[in-house]
Chain A
């Protein structure tokens, strides 16, 4: 179900600029965070590195696949998911989860209420699908390595 609202009251959206956290947050965090995510999700982990960029694929018992993308310095610059359910985004997005939630709260009562939604210079989150088939991606535009196309992050 994706519902928008055509006649809701409007409210101005104030873009909250956010500095990517390099501490414990998973998105924006380090490879050790990837390992914590794997344990938290009870997932099998496979990693592939090419030209200093690594894709960590976590496969859950049934139903979902989560990918985390790390750059040459080991920082997680993107997370994507696909499968029957939504993964634990509080865990995967770390501090950025609250930024995403703040955007959902702003969207509430506005005209549009549908997939997708954070689009800031420091954070992009997009999601879609229906119950039983969800997908999404979150990335830090300023941390995406040169030469990486965001369309490769699915």
Chain B
């Protein structure tokens, strides 16, 4: 297992070298990177910038995921999950460090979270927990749509590519000791606890969404409601919910969006992935650039900018309005951490096989033409080809384009039909910009998506 992961890391590093400094070209199919089983490689040539070596990028890999997924009775491999490697060190140490591969790159959430079991014991024991006003360690619960994680908030020196954050708080999912028991107010949101690599789907997650911290104002008052909940964790366990300040500079309290906490290139990201043929590929390699309009390789040129909803919005943050078949869907979003298109179209056949329940299985590829409208009325074309999820992808493919899920299947039709989720297939063949709320990104105020 270690050997296999090492091989992946080496491949990733080489890809990063070959694409470093390249300007992400706007337009379908021109993203930097490569797909290992496709006959064409779309890696762009590298460009030096007046002798300056740019380091504001990291390799993104869409592959089968960490080996720990594919063991035991619930074995599976990842599909359309983008992974990055991150390095964390004990605060101030240059040697007590660990590079962690297969960390999910998620534009739909915020904060760094790592499963406790993947951390070396020597590193884990050297990572201090955040302390609250009572002098007790801080714990955190974080909700996803159908799952939740819980663990400690520890501090580490964080690095990805050439970007760094010192003493950055992150969530150690499934941490032990005071954090071993999940508070009932955490599990009361429903869904499954996903504190292991196999249940979570990766060794961790790097949330680089549209908000500067993972809870904002919601965690600065009592009785707020947010995806994140912070706890006072004496040795007897975590029960009392505490307020935490939102800061993207030290001293931190809430988990910051790691990009927002960089000293530079801190206004957003660009994810650049190559286009993928209908059969899919075993491994897809692309790049995440840090910063928008801050270097020669991350200009906002030629992209359609679609402002998204604010963290103070009643409906929530990071939302745009999709229009599909003439109907406006006001709670839509673009999300690298969602691995298919999720939308409702009862006219398109869904798959009959049990294993593909809910997926669309059109008899032939369909051209669909959703658009996305930003909060300022700007409209972007989001057309794509929907493929049969059961018969189109090769069995070995881990990156698969144009697959969709109807969340209302099986019937009866359920009420929520006003959302269109543009998951990872939307990112294939595009440069997708995610700008952070409150930051000027390439001359335009975040939050926005652009592509």
Contact = CB atoms under 8 A, between A and B. Distances in A.
Given A1-B144, A112-B358, A150 B75 contact: no
A38 to B, nearest CB: 12
B145 to A, nearest CB: 5
Given A62-B221, A85-B225, A126-B407, A1 B314 contact: no
B77 A115 contact: no
B423 A2 contact: yes
A124 B143 CA distance: 21
A86 B342 contact: no
A86 B189 contact: yes
Given A1-B337, A82-B315, A126-B414, A8 B76 contact: yes
A129 B146 contact: no
Interface in B321-352: 331, 333, 335, 337-340, 342
B214 interface: yes
A91 B225 CA distance: 15
Contacts of A116: 407-408, 414
Given A108-B192, A150-B415, A5 B225 contact: no
Given A1-B106, A83-B314, A88-B185, A132 B226 contact: yes
Contacts of B214: 131
A36 interface: no
Given A82-B315, A84-B316, A119-B410, A130 B225 contact: no
B318 A132 contact: yes
Interface string B190-204: 111000000101000
B412 to A, nearest CB: 7
B294 interface: no
Interface stretch (A17-25, A27-35, A46-54, A99-107): A99-107
Contacts of A108: 74, 192, 199
A97 B293 CA distance: 47
A42 B241 CA distance: 14
A89 B146 contact: no
A137 B416 contact: yes
Most B Cβ at <10 Å: residue of A82, A85, A135, A137: A85
A129 B317 CA distance: 10
Interface stretch (B19-27, B41-49, B205-213): B205-213
Nearest to A113: B146
B67 to A, nearest CB: 14
B188 interface: yes
A86 to B, nearest CB: 4
Contacts of A9: 73-76
B355 A111 contact: yes
B201 to A, nearest CB: 5
Contact of B110 (A115, A129, A131): A131
Interface residues of B, number: 81
A60 interface: yes
Contacts of B411: 119
Interface string B279-322: 00000000000000000000000000000010100111111000
Contacts of A119: 410-412, 414
Nearest to B224: A62
A105 B75 contact: no
A90 B316 CA distance: 22
A100 B192 CA distance: 10
A131 B142 CA distance: 8
Nearest to A89: B190
A129 B335 CA distance: 10
A109 B74 contact: yes
Contacts of B106: 1
A14 interface: no
B94 to A, nearest CB: 32
Nearest to A119: B410
A16 interface: no
A151 interface: yes
Most A Cβ at <10 Å: residue of B222, B227, B342, B415: B415
B68 interface: no
Given A82-B315, A116-B407, A128-B407, A2 B414 contact: no
A126 B415 contact: yes
B59 to A, nearest CB: 20
B414 A128 contact: no
Nearest to B211: A132
A73 interface: no
Contacts of B423: 2
Interface of B: 73-79, 81, 104, 106, 108-110, 142-146, 184-185, 187-192, 199, 201, 205, 207, 209, 211, 214, 217-218, 221-229, 309, 311, 314-319, 331, 333, 335, 337-340, 342, 354-359, 405, 407-408, 410-419, 421, 423
Given A86-B143, A86-B227, A91-B188, 10 more contacts: A1-B205, A2-B335, A2-B337, A3-B339, A6-B76, A85-B226, A131-B109, A133-B319, A134-B145, A135-B419
Interface of A: 1-10, 41-42, 60-65, 80, 82-91, 93, 97, 100-101, 104-105, 108-109, 111-117, 119, 124, 126-137, 139, 141, 150-154
25 contacts: A1-B106, A1-B109, A7-B75, A7-B76, A62-B224, A82-B314, A83-B225, A84-B225, A85-B225, A90-B188, A101-B190, A104-B146, A126-B408, A129-B419, A131-B214, A133-B316, A133-B317, A134-B227, A134-B316, A135-B416, A137-B414, A137-B415, A150-B413, A151-B417, A154-B415
